[in-house]
Structure 1
Amino acid sequence: MALYTGKTVEEAIEAGLQDLHISRLKAHIRVISKEKKGFLGFGKKLAQVDIEGINEGTVYQADQEAVKGIPDDINRQNAPLVKPQGFVSPENQPEASDSGSSEIETVTTDEQDIPVDKAKAEITDSVEEALQEEELHEDFSQETSDVQVADQEASDNQAQAENQVAPSEISDKKAEDNSFEAFIASEFPEAAISKDIEKAADEVADYVTKIIYEMDIEATIDKSHNRRQINLQIDTQEAGRVIGYHGKVLKSLQLLAQNFLHDRYSKNFSVTLNVHDYVEHRTETLIDFTQKVANRVLDSGDNYTMDPMSNSERKIVHKTIAGIEGVESYSEGNDPNRYVVVSLQA
C-alpha cells in the first residue's frame, strides 16, 4: 500500500503506476481525496490516491466486498459449480461414445442440488419482480409529487389573490394620502418584500458558505435582514484569511455576493458581509486616520492623496472631512483605483 499525489487524480495514478512498474489492470486503486483548486489562491490541495498491486489477498477482499448486502439464498444459487464424484475433465474424457448420453450440470447447495438453468431462471424472476416493484414505487411517488405540487400552486394562487389590492382601493388611498411613502407601501406590500428578502437572504448565505468552504475554511454564517438590506455575519477561527490584507478578500466576497443577489433578485436589495465586527473596527480606524490627515493638511497647507478605497470607504472619508472646518475632499481616478484627495478649503 502506497500513497501518491498529483495535480489531478489521473496524474497521481500515473505517478503511482510508474513507481510500482505495473499496469493499470494489475493495480488496485483507491482515491483518498480529489484535487481542490481553491479560491483566490487559498485552499488549493493535490489529489491523493492509494495504489497496491493485485494479489490473492486483494482479490479475496474484493470478493468479500462484492457479496455484502446480497441475500444468502442468492449467494448460494451463484456459488461455484462443485464437481460430482467421478467427474472427468474434458481433456481426460475418452472419445465420444455412441450412446450420446450426457449429464445435466447442477449447482450444489446446503439443501439440495439445483439445475443451472433453473437457478438462472429463479434469479431472473427475482430481478424482474424487484424492478417491477421499483417502477410501481416510482409511479406512486411521481403521482404523490404531482398532487403536492398542484396543492402548493393552488395555495400560492390563493395567497397571491388575498395579497393583491384592487385598483379602486389604490385610487382611494392615493386620494386620501398622496405622500410618496404611502404610494410605495401600496405598490410594494411589506409581506411580499419580507417573503422575497427572506428567500434571498437564505440563498446568498448558502452561496457565500460554499465559497468559504472551497477556501478550506470552517465558518458559520448568521444572517439578518431589514426590509431591503441583508447582513451576513461570518464566524470563523481563521478571520484573517477571510478578511485578507486591508479587507481585500472580504470585499471580494461581498462583491460576489452582491452580484449573485442582483442576478437573481431585485437590484434594490443589498448585502453586507462582516467578520468579527471588522467593518465597525475598520470604520473607526478610517475616521481616526481621516482626522489626522485633515490636521496634517491644515498644518502644512499641502494636499494629501489617500490610497485607493472602495465606494463605501470613500463616503466615510467625505463625511468625516465635511465635519472639519478649513478642509475639503474630492475623489479622482477610476474604480478599483479611485482615491480621495484632501486639500485646504478654497
Structure 2
Amino acid sequence: MDGPDPVDGAEDGQDAEEGATPLSGEALLVREGDIAADYLERLLDILDYDGDIDLDVEGERAVVAVVGGALRGLIGTGGATLDALQEMTRLAVAQQTGVRTRLMLDVGGYRAKRREELTELATATATAVKETGQRRKLAPMNPFERKVVHDAVSATDGVFSESEGEEPNRCVVVIPDA
C-alpha cells in the first residue's frame, strides 16, 4: 500500500473531521507541519520554554525544528526526551489528520548534530571494516540513528550494514563484502 497508513479507520490523507477535504503529497506534509507547530507551541507555553518553530518538508516527511535558547531539557540524555516529544507530536498530528506521520522533530539542532557525528562514525567504521576484513558491531541506536548509519555505510564500497537485535538494544553491524 502506498502513502501513509490510515489511523483508526480514517480515509487516507483525510482530516479526521467529517467533511474535511482530503489531502495528499506535499499538501498533507505542510498540514502535518502546521498541526505539529500548533501542538508544540502550546506545549512550550505550558512547560515555560522559549523557542521558535521552523517548518520544512524534506523528501517525504515534514520536518519541525524548535530553535532558541535553553532547550536542553527538551532533548534529554541521549535524545530520549526528544524522542518522546517526537512520538507525542506524531500522535497529535495523526489524531487530527487521520493518518500516521513520519514527521521528524529536532530541538536545538540536536538531530542535525547527531546526524553529523553518526555519519563520521559510520564512515570511519566502514573504512576500518574494509581494511581489516573484520565485521564491527556498533552500540545500540534508535531507528533514526540506525538509518543515518546505514545510509553512510552504503556510500562505502566493499562493505554493507545490517541491523540486529531487538529494541531497545537493536544495533548496526558493519560487514565486509564477501
Q: TM-score, normalised by structure 2?
A: 0.71
**Greater C-alpha Rg:** 1
Structure 2: stretches of 5+ with no match in the other structure: 1-18
Distance 1:211 1:336, change over 3 A: farther
Distance 1:281 1:189, change over 3 A: closer
Which residue of the partner structure matches residue 134 of structure 2?
A: 302
Letter in 2 for 1:253: L
Q: Which moved more, 1:212-221 or 1:231-240?
A: 212-221
Which residue of the partner structure matches residue 242 of structure 1?
A: 74
Distance 1:316 1:227, change over 3 A: closer
1:216 Cα deviation after fit: 3.7
Which of the residues 144, 147, 167 maps onto 1:312? 144
1:290 Cα deviation after fit: 0.7
Which of the residues 87, 90, 93 maps onto 1:258? 90
SS of the aligned residue for 1:234 comes to strand
Greater helix content: 1
Letter in 1 for 2:166: N
Distance 1:321 1:216, change over 3 A: same
Q: Which moved more, 1:294-303 or 1:244-253?
A: 294-303
Which residue of the partner structure matches residue 99 of structure 2?
A: 267
Distance 2:58 2:133 in 1: 44
Distance 1:188 1:243, change over 3 A: closer
SS of the aligned residue for 1:318 comes to helix
1:340 Cα deviation after fit: 0.5
Distance 2:58 2:157 in 1: 35
Deviations 1:297-337 (A, max 9, x none): 23444322112222232122122222222222111112333
Instruction: Please give the residue correspondences for 1:14-29 in structure 2 after superposition, counting only pairs within 5 Å.
Output: none
Distance 1:256 1:298 in 2: 40
Which of the residues 98, 111, 130 maps onto 1:279? 111
Which residue of the partner structure matches residue 230 of structure 1?
A: 62
Distance 1:327 1:277, change over 3 A: same
1:342 Cα deviation after fit: 1.2
Structure 1: stretches of 5+ with no match in the other structure: 1-156, 161-186
Distance 2:82 2:24 in 1: 33
Distance 2:131 2:105 in 1: 38
Identity percentage over the alignment? 26
RMSD: 3.1
Letter in 1 for 2:138: M
Aligned residue pairs total 159
Native 8 Å contact 1:261 1:270 kept in 2 = no
Which residue of the partner structure matches residue 172 of structure 2?
A: 340
Distance 1:287 1:239 in 2: 24
1:230 Cα deviation after fit: 2.4
Letter in 1 for 2:129: V
Native 8 Å contact 2:90 2:100 kept in 1 = no
**Higher relative contact order (CA closer than 8 Å, sequence separation 6+):** 2
Deviations 1:64-92 (A, max 9, x none): xxxxxxxxxxxxxxxxxxxxxxxxxxxxx
Native 8 Å contact 2:66 2:108 kept in 1 = yes
